[in-house]
Amino acid sequence: MVTRQKAREAVRIGGKEIGRVLITGASAGIGAELAREFARHGHRLTLVARRREALAALAAELEREHQVDVQVIAQDLAKPGGPAAAVKAAQAGGEEIGILVNNAGVIDVGRFADAQPEKLIGLVDLNVRTMTEMTSRLLPGMVARGVGRVLNVSSLSAFQPVPTMAAYAASKAYVLSLTEALSEELRGTGVKVTALCPGFTETPMISEIQAGSAAVRGLPKQFLSDPSDVAAQGYRALMSGQTVVVPGLPNQLTAAWAQVTPRWVTRYIAGVATRRTV
């Protein structure tokens, strides 16, 4: 763990100091862009991921560019005890975590029956169990202080079943459902929970999706979201207390279509498309 000195005033919400921002999966992709977005607005950061070198490089960039205090914790959150160890390390200096960003996640592309059980279990452990445990450990303190934010990075796939990404889409549906339920449970507490649901985004994860899907491989580049734009929209939605944000008009139309179309139609169309491309 590397701790650096505070250089800017604490960010406040409703007159109350919000505390540090803890971002999981912060070493690359949307997680790294979210770290940059929070740093741009002067937040003190705790970045968590497995790759210490990547985190240290990002921390140095953020401190240099934005004069913010950045703490780095190298931790595999998918392992038993990983979330608890990360939270303990983050709170070791006595500062409260006022914003939690559950971004860590993995994907599996291909037929469910062909997947290794260990890979699917690892996906559920990280995408579902880890975000649940991180939220459960940090949310009570936010409620007690009367201020806090939780940003859960879900996906456009949360709105419908996705053959060949079955476990991933199901895990993101859990993230979306939990977020919406908590947003109502927490009404009036000063704590807000937001689900960020991006579509295909130009991150390292898109390469894995493209490797398993010819349809995505042939997707024009203009249909891929910019991760910095996704992060900026997620930040604005979180700080304003919006419950669900889907970046990009095409993605918003897709999410709306999935919610008004009979489920059997949605899964049939998805099944036809994926059977032709896998």
Number of domains in the chain: 1
CATH number, domain of 49, equals 3.40.50.720
- Give the pLDDT confidence score for residue 10 in this predicted structure: 72
Q: How far apart are CA 247 and CA 215, in angstroms?
A: 21
Q: How far apart are CA 106 and CA 214, in angstroms?
A: 20
Q: How far apart are CA 105 and CA 24, in angstroms?
A: 9
The parent domain of residue 78 ranges over: 2-277
pLDDT tens digits, one per residue of 103-134: 999 998 889 999 999 999 999 999 999 999 99
- Residue 222 or 273, more confident: 273
- Give the pLDDT confidence score for residue 222 in this predicted structure: 53
Closest CA to 38 of 71, 83, 86: 71
* Token pair of 243 as six digits: 């419950």
pTM higher than 0.75, yes or no?
yes
Q: Which entry of 168, 174, 235, 268 is annotated as an active-site residue? A: 168
Place of tokens 């008004």: 260
Report the amino acid identity of residue 164: T
Is there a catalytic annotation at residue 168? yes
- Give the pLDDT confidence score for residue 8 in this predicted structure: 59
pLDDT for residue 158 is more than 60: yes
- Give the pLDDT confidence score for residue 269 in this predicted structure: 84
Q: Which helix (H) or strand (E) holds 73?
A: strand 70-74
When mean pLDDT is compared across 35-49, 104-118, 201-215, the lowest value belongs to: 201-215
Q: How far apart are CA 149 and CA 133, in angstroms?
A: 16
What does the DSSP assignment read for 141-201? Answer: HHHHHT-EEEEEE--GGGGS--TTSHHHHHHHHHHHHHHHHHHHHTTTTTEEEEEE---SB
CA distances (Å), origin 12, targets 17, 98, 204, 240: 4, 10, 33, 13
With 0-12 / 13-18 / 19 or more C-beta atoms within 10 angstroms meaning exposed / middle / buried, residue 275 is: exposed
pLDDT for residue 135 is more than 90: yes
Cβ 130 vs Cβ 178: under 8 Å: no
Compute the residue count for the chain.
278
